[in-house]
Structure 1
Amino acid sequence: MKNTIKSAFFCYILLQISIFTSFGYDYFEPSEEEWESASATYTKEANGSIITEGACGYGDLHKVTYGRYGTGLSTILFNKGSSCGACYEIRCVDHVRWCQPGSPSVFVTVTDFCPPNYGLSSDYGGWCNFPRRHFEMSEASFTEIAAKSADIVPVQYRRVGCERDGGMKFTVAGYANFYQVLITNVGLDGEVTAVKIKGSRTGWIPMARNWGQLWHCNIDLKGQSLSFEVTTSSGKSVTSYNVAPANWHFGQTFEGKQIYNF
């Protein structure tokens, strides 16, 4: 009797996994990735936050809620902008003087590129020179893991899932036959790898990466309601239908579905 119950329970678990997979939800657990070694510094901005636009095209980072916890990446980690929007957990290690007691960690979002400086040694000032792995953090996030007086500290980092409030945000810009959209507040793995747009009088149109998380296409979409299909680096896609009404204007921001809302 016990064996029969165990067999039935095992079959039930397999059925649930099968159902979950059939809907296209691969189990994504980036927080279980192994810790890797890097270094970190910080940049001084107002209120300890990064407010400059950065190489990901997000604009005022406080408006997209990344300001205090935005970070720049060195070349090898930035990956030509495809890492924009990704989330990392970082902790200071192996330095009794500079690391905060207990080596607490902080969660950051990639918002910028830390350019190399080959006029300086990679061990002295050229922190972002290839192939160094380096994070240029905000002062606010840096001081959660290390002393403010520290120049550069050794850290460990790992990819984690992005926790976001609300849906993905689509900010439209452009002119005439040039249409551009900035995508922010992306959950799950955070990195957008492909975007399609659909007007109420068109089929689905692939968009090209302009730079960072700015995507564009050469078509006139004025007077049409807009839908978006967004794919992230884990291969998951989510479609937000009729996000922008037919009377949308450049400069407006609209909210769609979230990638982790099953």
Structure 2
Amino acid sequence: MAKSLVLLTVLTTCLALATAQWSPATATFYGGVDGSGTMGGACGYGNLYNSGYGVYNAALSTALFNDGASCGQCYTIMCDPSRLGGQWCKPGNTITVTATNFCPPNYALPSDNGGWCNPPRQHFDMSQPAWEHIGVYQGGIIPVQYQRVKCSRTGGVRFVINGCNYFELVNIQNLAGSGSVGAAWIKGTNTGWMQMSRNWGANWQSNAALVGQGLSFAITTTGGQYIQFMDVAPAWWQFGQSFTINQNFQY
């Protein structure tokens, strides 16, 4: 199951996260003063409190979203008072957010005047509560510096199972460490391990008839850590149910 690839990527990714440099971007906000409008989103997490992410979240521009591969990753963001718009900064403050949504491009507007999420811009459309930690409300958009950081989570990895009799669509949530799924496998009681493919966001699919079988999962994070989650769902599981197992990632 590509264990050699796991071993090769672990050191590289951990070193990259440990030595991450600040990169320039911009940030706006959405979702209301309580962040309720950020629930759901293009990663498929649904209620962000139930899935472990809460209100400190952000929608990423195309350049950062990476077709959903960035779902669940964590970023520490601070306002940059040295750049244009820096008068709206709250200097010295930082906030850590989770990527839970996609900020779509708006090609009807120029990228420097409303088309903030147009490629190749690196942009965070943050929940309002998170954004107001680092910016003054009246500014609307601020220059920021960001870096990807290790995610801290409460509890274990969560699997939400949807689909139909011959198709499992599994949303994988609440990953600590690197925060995002690099590869996933599924195993029924009567099968071997079968590799899954990303469908959209944090949803991974299997085209197997596994109804009536207990389910196990295996994940390699984008940080390179591999864990098998055995006996996650009993044989009587149904579509729409979620299961949390008392294991999580370090990187």
Q: How does the TM-score come out when normalised to structure 2?
A: 0.89
- Does residue 1:61 correspond to 2:48, yes or no? yes
Q: RCO higher in 1 or 2 (8 Å CA, sep ≥ 6)? A: 2
- Of 30, 39, 59, 1:52 maps to 39
64-73 vs 105-114, which moves further:
64-73
Q: C-alpha separation between the residues in 2 aligned to 1:96 and 1:180?
A: 43
- Establish whether residue 193 from structure 1 lines up as the match of residue 182 from structure 2: yes
Please state if 1:123 is matched with 2:112.
yes
- Aligned residue among 84, 97, 107 for 1:108: 97
* Cα offset, 1:49, TM superposition: 4.0
Unaligned runs of 5+ in 2: 1-6
Q: Distance in 2 between matches of 1:50 and 1:33?
A: 31
1:87 is aligned, of 53, 56, 74, to 74
* 1:28 and 2:14 are equivalent in the alignment: yes
Q: Secondary structure of the equivalent of 1:124?
A: coil
How many angstroms apart in 2 are the aligned matches of 1:96 and 1:69?
22
Alignment partner for residue 61 of structure 2, among 63, 74, 92? 74
Q: What are the superposed Cα offsets for residues 99-154 of structure 1, whole Å, 9 maximum, x if unpaired?
A: 11x42110000011111111111111010111111000000000011111211100
Cα deviation, residue 253, structure 1: 1.2
Q: Which amino acid aligns with 1:210?
A: N
The aligned counterpart of 1:4 is none
* Structure 2 counterpart of 1:241, one-letter code: M
2:139 aligns to what SS in structure 1? coil
Partner of 1:260: 250
**Cα distance in 2 for residues equivalent to 1:85 and 1:96:** 28
Question: What is the identity, as a one-letter code, of the residue corresponding to 1:243?
Answer: V
The match for 2:4 is none
1:162 alignment counterpart = 151
- Give deviations 1:8-46, integer Å, cap 9, x for gaps: xxxxxxxxxxxxxx9x97482625310000000001336
1:230 aligned to which of 219, 225, 228: 219
Whose radius of gyration is greater, 1 or 2?
1
Cα distance between partner residues in 2 of 1:174 and 1:52: 21
CA distance in 1, matches of 2:150, 2:36: 22
Q: Percent identity?
A: 45
- TM-score (structure 1 length as normaliser): 0.85
Aligned counterpart, 2:206? 217
Instruction: List runs of 5+ in structure 1 lacking aligned partners.
Output: 1-21
Aligned residue for 1:72, secondary structure, equals strand
1:142 aligns with 2:128: no
Task: Report the counterpart of residue 208 of structure 1 in structure 2.
Answer: 197
